[in-house]
Structure 1
Amino acid sequence: MTAPARAPVAEFARFLRTETVGGFFLLAAAGVALVWANTPLRAGYEALREVTVGPSALHLNLTLQQWATDGLLAVFFFVAGLELKRELVIGELAGARRAVLPVAAAVGGMAVPVLVALLVGGDLPGMEAAWSIPAATDIAFALAVLAVAGAGLPSSARVFLLSLAVVDDLGAVLLIAVLFAGNLHVLALLAAALLCGVYWVLQRKRVTSPLVYVPIAVGTWVAVHEAGIHATVAGVALALLTRVRPDPGEQEGPALRLEHRLQPWSAALCAPLFAFVAAGVPLGLPALQTMITDRVALAVIAGLLVGKVVGIFGAASLVVWLTPAVRPRGLGWRDLAAVSMLGGVGFTVSLLITELSLASVGPRAVESAKAAVLLSSIAAAVLAAALLVRRSRIHGRSRAVAPDDDSGVETTPSES
């Protein structure tokens, strides 16, 4: 009698696990925020984001925007990290030949945009730190666009983008910590490391009770936050410490079990609310006029729209040609080029770096660079979506996969 009662809930959770559904939720929330922030009702949106919630102890009296960026996004990163860990151990990225490609692509996707930005921006005021703005890829928005526009591509496309975006975002967080962090609290950092160690030991001891893990996860997040490091690092760290392989008698390992339970919450609540508080960037006429003549803003645009795709695709090509690394299974070079275009969706982390790097220059420079980030991210998303739709149709017309070549790479018939 209990099974039918649980069926609708389980079916709804399965519906939310569909990547396309989560992508629509996130993009819709971002659209609502963007429209609201550019209407006469903008003050209400700004006031809502600045509502303060939480205890004052441990500096947790945060605004709703901070809770979404540091808290909800940590859950999203935890789910993404679980999927990445599973792919590294038993999935598409198992083995160094496959894992090295997204890492190299992420490094190229950070280094080349920085070089492009420096070439365009030169030694202008603010560029001493603003060069780091186009280094970041927004994992949530990039995955959402891929889910909506690239549903017909092989699943390895998502794995590739997820992997490089996680590495990219960790690199961006490291840049923030090095360039803009205030005082690094060593004791809090040691506490976070200790809690991660306890989590790892409990995983190896096959402890399964959430009554044990939930306090450890919350404590790790608080410790990382107190240490002065972006709190989403806690989600990635715990995910990478989670056991993947099931024991004899287990139907699934802890990583897959947690992923199934948390992914609906991440898709329906965490990612959309984060998008809602992050996407409300005003695109006023003064900001747009300044952006056209501001070389710092132009450097950001060049870095995101040109540097990202060149860096990601170029690094991936070089690694495949010069090392034993192989392309993701079932993906051709044109597929990789389309996915690489998604790297230009900088958005949230880029907006955060913009505020930190240009605060000393003035509010006008900040607004101009923010407009550049937003417009570049939208342009990259639209271009990538067009390419992904075309590639999806090609894959849809021809699902037959050519036999593996001597490199172990499966190629699509259109590029074999």
Structure 2
Amino acid sequence: MMKRIWVAMIVVLGYSCGSDDSSDYVPVNPYTNISATFGSAVNPDNLYNYANQTIPNYITKDNSGGNPITDKGATLGRVLFYDKDLSSNNTISCSSCHQQANAFSDTQVASTGVNGTTGRHSMRLINTRFANETRFFWNERAVNLETQTTMPIKDHGEMGFSGTNGDADFSALLTKLSAIGYYKELFQWVYGSEEITEAKIQLALAQFVRSIQSFDSKYDIGRAQVANDAQPFPNFTNQENQGKNLFLAPPVFDGNGNRTSGGLGCAGCHAAPEFDINPNSGNNGIIGVLNGTGIDVGNTRAPSLRDLVKLDGTTNGPMMHTGVITTLQAAVGHYGTINIAPGNTNLDAKLRPNGFGQQLHLTAPEVNAVIAFLRTLSGTNVYTDPKWSNPFPN
């Protein structure tokens, strides 16, 4: 009886059966498949810092809710984000439409999916954690980021596990992922169980997306040196400070919607220092559609204005849900003259003072100053940091 117990102990401890020589010890590696697939890109014993990144003290918003970022969870989310196995034909991942090199957006107006193209331009994923607005997609159809993460997977055109139009349903994806060795190890490591569920996928993907942050811009350097945004930033040029003032100050209108004084009022929808969208915003006057005919007045969500462009001024892809805006000059110009289109019942009230579409009567120096300020909102690290990069070998 004692012999059987001793043999069992030897097996549990990882020794070679039939020998009591400690030199025969064979360590058990619970991450064999992770190591074989990702090499040093994903090392469970040496994780990237996702949970405790530096956040400026003037950033006060945090919509993580009941799903705080953990190093383990975000690591799993990173793998899921870049894995083409999450699409029905193994050709599309979340990163196909949200590319790190472009502030996690796409340079194409409509992104390519497994059965066509997306219905709207792919939104940039910068500082999604730091916003009052917790709903997602341009039309806010997802109640939170967790819900949003699996909706593209279940879309027929995008990733193809819709359960319609001949697609397999989401349960088929769960079965598919459950047969992959590195997911067995990753889910066991993160959740204490190999079982893969939609809720676990949502939690991990949301943690990874919320971890993507950008606070190394010229704006952030200046903001750290003053008490509030209204003060001149010592590292800004006169033009950049002028643009900041125009961005922050509300306009003063006459009875016909013409600006007579004041700024441009951009902060009314994109408040500093997060520069995300106000949850109570209506649409911004762009109501076109990418596919088909008609109008689309339900788009009221927008990404943060951070990293609209790269540091050199190169755009991170077209802007707005239709991708119709391709330069900062065009973006500022759009708000300069708002025409209320027939059928647009959802235009933001701030863009129709006294019932008229706003006429800001922008001057060239004002446009150039606001553009100069918007460019100060771009950082550098978010484009190259390996913790947000593709962990799969090329």
Q: TM-score range by the shorter chain?
A: under 0.3
More helix by share: 1
TM-score (ref. length: structure 2): 0.27
Per the normalisation by structure 1, the TM-score is: 0.26
Structure number with greater Rg is 2
Larger RCO (CA within 8 A; separation ≥ 6): 1
